Structure 1
Amino acid sequence: MFTKEEASAIKKEFWTGLAQRLETRRSASGKRINWVNYKTGSRDIYFRMYADKKKAFISIDLGHEDIGIQELFYEQFLEFKSYLHNILGEEWDWELHTSDEIGRTVSKISKTLTDVNVFNKKDWNKLYDFFKPRIIALDEFWFDAKDNFDALK
């Protein structure tokens, strides 16, 4: 068991390692980018990466507080579902109106990796191999599709 400070330090080391693996990679637009804290340019659309002692996931979170508008974002993503899955090279899970870690209603498009532990450094390469190609693919998708979401801002 780790203290809160030790756990925080381990997570920081992990995310720093992922950032270092991605630091020379440019975005689809050719710009330098903070991959770990990816900015979509939309207040209500987030690309999230998460890892704990049981699992890891990467997701597109649709967090508009107006449930109707959130549903419009979700429906817009559904229009791009085939294209998104084609770029990702796999199918992801789609959830309309679920709860996030603090209890807010969000809609989520995600991929989960189970049986990994961010606190076990032996799992880090597996986690890096999970996150890296998917965040790069999300960036490629977003570069092509983001203009279609501007009207919903």
Structure 2
Amino acid sequence: MYSKEESLRIKKEFWTQFAEAYPRKWLLYNTKIKDVTFKFYVDNKKAQVLFDIEPKDEEKRKIYFEKIESLKTILLEDFLEDAILERNFYLENGKIISRIWVELTGISLNNKATWETIYDFFYEKMDAFERFFYENEDYIKDLEINT
């Protein structure tokens, strides 16, 4: 078990090395859709690249998710064959969001020997997610176009 300070140091080193290995500006929170974001996640069991749809307005969340769902074949065949789509994903705090993600297991943030594998996974999967998003951005953003 690591102390809180040691855990923070490891996380900082992990993210600093990732930024150095893949120096680019990721889309992340800059989707220009309120409460629709891309995220990187890693812990001591898994790494994930997430596309979270979490508007407070339930109807908007439903529409955005259904738009992505209508593009599922394209997403899976052309970009991320291992993507998981979940309309009602429950966060630890009880909040319900919609989430599309890919996951890598068998790694650990505390095991530096797995960092390169995580970095490669993050780069490959986030790049694919971003390409999918940019290719379908106008459709996804436009709430007037129904699925």
Q: TM-score, with normalisation over the residues of structure 1?
A: 0.84
Question: What is the aligned partner in structure 2 of residue 8 from structure 1?
Answer: 8
> How far apart, CA to CA, are the structure 2 residues paired with 1:18 and 1:38?
18
From 61, 66, 69, the counterpart of 1:70 = 61
Question: What is the aligned partner in structure 1 of residue 126 from structure 2?
Answer: 135
The DSSP-based 3-state class of the residue aligned with 1:152 is coil
1:29-68 matches, within 5 Å, as: 33=25, 35=26, 37-68=28-59
Which region of structure 1 is more displaced relative to structure 2, 38-47 or 67-76?
38-47
Shift in CA distance, 98/110, structure 1 to aligned 2, threshold 3 Å: same
1:87-98 matches, within 5 Å, as: 87-98=78-89
1:114-140 per-residue CA deviation (whole Å, 9 max, x = no partner) reads 121111101101111211111111121
Task: Letter of the 2:48 partner, please give it.
Answer: F
Which region of structure 1 is more displaced relative to structure 2, 35-44 or 115-124?
35-44
The answer (yes or no) to whether the contact 2:69–2:85 under 8 Å persists in 1 is no
Asked if 1:147 is matched to 2:106, the reply is no
- 1:97 Cα deviation from its structure 2 partner: 1.1
- 1:66 Cα deviation from its structure 2 partner: 1.9
> How far apart, CA to CA, are the structure 2 residues paired with 1:150 and 1:121?
39
CA RMSD of aligned residues (A): 1.9
Question: What is the aligned partner in structure 2 of residue 29 from structure 1?
Answer: none
Q: TM-score, with normalisation over the residues of structure 2?
A: 0.88
1:25-76 per-residue CA deviation (whole Å, 9 max, x = no partner) reads 5xxxxxxx2x284522212211111000111111111101122221111100
> How far apart, CA to CA, are the structure 2 residues paired with 1:136 and 1:86?
15
> How far apart, CA to CA, are the structure 2 residues paired with 1:21 and 1:86?
28
> How far apart, CA to CA, are the structure 2 residues paired with 1:136 and 1:58?
10
- Give ranges in structure 1 of 5+ residues lacking alignment: 26-32
- 1:96 Cα deviation from its structure 2 partner: 0.9
Asked if 1:118 is matched to 2:96, the reply is no
